[in-house]
Amino acid sequence: MTAATTSSRRAGGPRPGAALAAKSLLYALLIAIAVVYIFPFLINVATSFKTDADAASDPLALLPQTITTAAYERLFLNSDFPVWFKNSFIVTIFVTAGRVFFDSLAGYALARLRYRGRNVVFAALIAVMAVPNVVLLIPKFLVINQLGMYDSYAGMIIPLLADAAGIFIMKNFFESIPASVEEQAKIDGAGVFRTFWSIVLPMARPALITIIILSFQGSWNELSHFIISTQSPDLTTLTKGVASLASGQLSQGSQYPLKLAAAAIMTVPVAVVFFIFQRRILNASDGAVKE
Amino acid sequence: MTAVTNRPSLARRRSRIAGREGVAGWLFTAPMIVILGLFLVIPVGMALWVSFSDWTGRGSPFSGSVGFVGADNYNTLLSGGGLAERDFGISLRNNGWYVLLVVPLQTALSLFLAVLVNRAVLKGRGFFRTAFYFPSVTSSVAITVLWLFLFGATGAVNKVLSYFGVNGPNWFQDPSGIVHNLLGAVGITTGPAILTENTALGVSLWDWLAGPSVAMSAFVLMAVFTTSGTFMLLFIAALQNLSGETQEAAMMDGANGWQRFWRITLPQLKPTLFTVLTLGIIGTWQIFDQIYTGTQGGPGKTTVTPAYLSYTSAFNNQQWGQGSAIAFILFVIIVVLTLLQRFVLRDRAVSKRRLRAYGIAVKGMER
């Protein structure tokens, strides 16, 4: 209040004091909310370096009483964690590469190629997008099982290789590129695939990056598909493994430092991708829709 | 097309190109058609058959020994009178309360954050957006593990509450419904006979009104925490597409910030509001990862959701028909609610005429 009155005297305009007070209030509010959003992650990291007793007695402290890397050592040297990490990595790489290729192919065809049945294909795509993922758990298992892909990388990767939302984003992007660009290439005698591959695709970089980010996030964080497509411990992904940790496998008692260390490591790759592409993620409204 | 018939040579060239494009079109879309067809369309058909069959999970669901049982699986769930019906009722109760709380909260909070962050004069906008959005990119498994710790009996949340003299509950172990708890605080511990003696889906009406359990409430907070950032981005994009003119006109006419928000900004945001509400409803009826990782339906079945029940019925109890039937009922619930909401919030997009009407309304408001 005092700040408000002094500034109003200084500026002398129409109620600038009130404006300043409102501004300070806005910042105070924003900072308070930001703390609520960030604090849990700080606690997560801090706790992963605590001892079990410390984590239980002082859950809020951001500085461990004694810093210990016991949780991380246990995870890497004394558990299946490296296997989980490797599996998540393999699946994510293949799924991301596959989605970038197949989504852009299909998006291009739906946006630009005139062929009989295109509207039917597009309508079917929209209809498929409306089917909720969780409803598909049992059905997907049935098909994967019938195809003999259960408990294999094929069963984990192939069903995720194309996604309707990604195709949609690519289609929208290709529609925004002027058609004259390709006409030139066509007149020069380039085939359809060549036009797509060397003319149009390089122009689609912003959309491709969006697909990469979404696919990476989506497949790294995927849980339910791996639950129903695998059983073998050799094929356990991070999400599945950490979920089993959470429900008490591998541990006696609560062992929160161990679980939170696993959660922290699992968050690192998506956090890195997020901070690299931050500007794009936060500005592109296209990329904002998560599934 | 009419122009083409007049010029045969061009038509021939066009059709040749179209032919080439036709082949390419199908080739380009073939991978997607195969993958989505094989893992989305055919599965739905197969599961629909299983939901009408007595398949026990052994062998192929299409083998001769699997029988068609009509609507038996659905009847067991909806009017069987047994444990299956009761569990299904409980799961609907749990998830219903979850949707009822999460959808309005996440929508309001994300809109609030978007309006706060969208100010042109704001310094550090990027920082705040990053802070609010970051929970949305992390995996639901990692967040659930964190939540189990934060909301533990001696966790961070209860520690903070203790500063205010509140003795926090043992969140994920507490099956009591929060509506019942609130009523209990004013001395009402049992409902009127009309509520306790009548049941729907094997659950008494009084229990339907129990509210989300304390454990489920922690999941509610988690959902709001992790989704508000995503929806904030949608609202920011929409806010930036609004023309400043109407705002300025209203400002000139003396409408205050609150009036401008309710009368001008909000009506223009209606399409985005519709998107956010739809995605919210679709998402909240599918809660699965968190339950699988966190509570496995406990305590006292108060975090069992239809998605989770469908999974456990099939994969743990080998009740494949029932599991599939639950999945299809869930599908119908989501579709019906989305359509209902579409009807209620009919897309009366803000037309030019209406915009003008708003302008007039604001002008009229001033005096």
Q: How many domains, chain B?
A: 1
* Interface contact flag, A139 B145, Cβ < 8 Å: no
Q: Is the peptide bond before B299 cis (omega within 30 degrees of 0)?
A: yes
Question: Are B146 and A44 a contacting pair at CB < 8 A?
Answer: yes
Give yes or no for a contact between B118 and B240, defined as CB atoms under 8 angstroms apart. Answer: yes
Within-domain flag for B110: yes
Picking from A30, A55, A139, the nearest residue to B43 by CB comes out as: A139
Type of residue at A193: F
Q: Which residues pair with A56 in a beta bridge?
A: none
The neighbouring-strand residues paired with B199 are B204
> How close is the nearest chain A Cα to the Cα of B313, in Å?
10
CA distance B195 to chain A (A): 32
Q: Which residues have CB under 8 Å from B222's CB, separation 6+? A: B143, B144, B147, B290
Average pLDDT, integer, range A128-132:
80
- Residue A162 and residue A102 in contact, taking contact as beta carbons nearer than 8 Å: yes
Determine the pLDDT at residue B347: 54
Residues of B in contact with A54 (CB under 8 A): none
- Residues of chain A neighbouring B50 (CB-CB closer than 8 A): 138, 142
For residue A205, the SS3 value is helix
Q: What is the pLDDT of residue B148?
A: 93
**Spatial CA neighbour of A244 closest among B151, B144, B284:** B144
Whichever domain contains B140, its CATH number is 1.10.3720.10
Give the count of beta carbons closer than 10 Å to the beta carbon of residue B120: 6
Of residues B294 and A289, the one with the higher pLDDT is B294
Say if residue A181's pLDDT is above 90: no
Taking only the tens place, the pLDDT of each residue in B83-106 is 889 999 999 999 999 999 999 999
pLDDT at B118: 85
Q: Do B21 and A115 lie within an 8 Å CB cutoff?
A: yes
Nearest CA in chain A to B154: A56
Of the residues B20, B128, B146, the best mutation for testing chain A's interface (the one with the most A CB atoms within 10 Å of its CB) is B146
Question: Which residues on chain A are in Cβ contact (under 8 Å) with B39?
Answer: 140, 143-144, 158-159
Which residue ranges of chain B lie beneath pLDDT 50? 1-6, 360-367
State how far the Cα of B353 lies from the Cα of B351, in Å rounded to an integer.
Answer: 5
Closest CA–CA distance from residue A206 to any residue of chain B (Å): 17
What residues make up the domain containing B323? 76-177+212-346
- Residues in chain B closer than 8 A to A135 (CB atoms): 286, 307, 310, 327-328, 330-331, 334
Looking at mean pLDDT, say which of A52-61, A222-231, A277-286 comes out highest. A222-231
pLDDT tens, residue by residue, B167-205 = 889 999 999 989 998 998 888 888 788 888 888 888 888
Burial A215-240 (b: 16+ CB within 10 A, else e): bbbbbbbbbbbbbbbbeeeebbbbbb
Interchain pair B288, A134: CB under 8 A:
yes
- The DSSP secondary structure of A18-48, one letter per residue, reads HHHHHHHHHHHHHHHHHHHHHHHHHHHHHHH
**Closest CA–CA distance from residue A234 to any residue of chain B (Å):** 20
- Establish if B246 belongs to a structural domain: yes
> Is B68 inside any structural domain?
no
Which of B20, B39, B226 has the most A C-beta neighbours within 10 Å, making it the best mutation to test the interface with A? B39
Instruction: Evaluate whether residue B228 is within a structural domain.
Output: yes
What's the rounded Cα separation, in Å, for the pair B338 and B333?
8
Which pLDDT value is given to residue B72?
A: 86
| pLDDT over threshold 60, residue A149 | yes
* Mutation to test the B interface, candidates A135, A146, A229, most B Cβ within 10 Å: A135
Report the 3 state secondary structure along chain B: CHHHHHCHHHHHHHHHHHHHHHHHHHHHHHHHHHHHHHHHHHHHHHHHHHHCECCCCCCCCCCCCCCECCCHHHHHHHHCCCHHHHHHHHHHHHHHHHHHHHHHHHHHHHHHHHHHHCCCCCCCHHHHHHHHHHHHHCCHHHHHHHHHHHCCCCCHHHHHHHHCCCCCCCHHHCCCEHHHHHHHHCCCCCCCHHHHCCEECCEEHHHHCCCCEHHHHHHHHHHHHHHHHHHHHHHHHHHHHCCHHHHHHHHHCCCCHHHHHHHHHHHHCHHHHHHHHHHHHHHHCCCCHHHHHHCCCCCCCCCCCHHHHHHHHHHHCCCHHHHHHHHHHHHHHHHHHHHHHHHHCCCCCCCHHHHHHHHHHHHHHHC
In chain A, the domains with their CATH numbers are 16-68 (no CATH), 86-280 (1.10.3720.10)
d(CA A181, CA B242) in angstroms, rounded, equals 31
Q: Which residue of A has its CA nearest to B234?
A: A285
For residue A253, the model assigns a pLDDT of 64
d(CA A62, CA A70): 17
Q: A143: nearest CA in chain B?
A: B43
> Does residue B276 lie within any of the structural domains?
yes
Q: Which of A38, A109, A228 comes nearest B28 by C-beta?
A: A109
By CA distance, what is A135's nearest residue in B?
A: B327
Question: B234 vs A288: CB contact, 8 Å cut-off?
Answer: yes
The Cα–Cα gap between B131 and B138 comes to 12
User: How many CA atoms within 13 Å lie on the side-chain side of B323?
Assistant: 26
CA distance B178 to chain A (A): 23
Average pLDDT, chain A: 85
Residue B311 is predicted with a pLDDT of 94
With tokens 């511990």, the residue in question is: B189
Show residues of chain B in contact with A216, CB under 8 Å. none
Give exposure, A75-91, as e/b (b: 16+ Cβ within 10 Å).
beeebbbebbbebbeeb
Is B202 inside a domain boundary?
no
In the predicted model, is pLDDT for residue A2 greater than 70? Answer: no
Query: Residue B57: inside a domain, yes or no?
Result: no
Residue among A56, A115, A121 whose CB faces B22 most closely = A115
Q: How many CB pairs under 8 A join A and B?
A: 280
The answer to whether residues B327 and B247 touch, using CB atoms and an 8 Å cutoff, is no
pLDDT of residue A127: 83
Q: Give the nearest partner residue to B145 out of A29, A34, A260, using CB atoms.
A: A260
- Residue B42 in any domain: the answer is no
What is the least distance, in Å, from the CA of B254 to any CA of chain A? Answer: 14
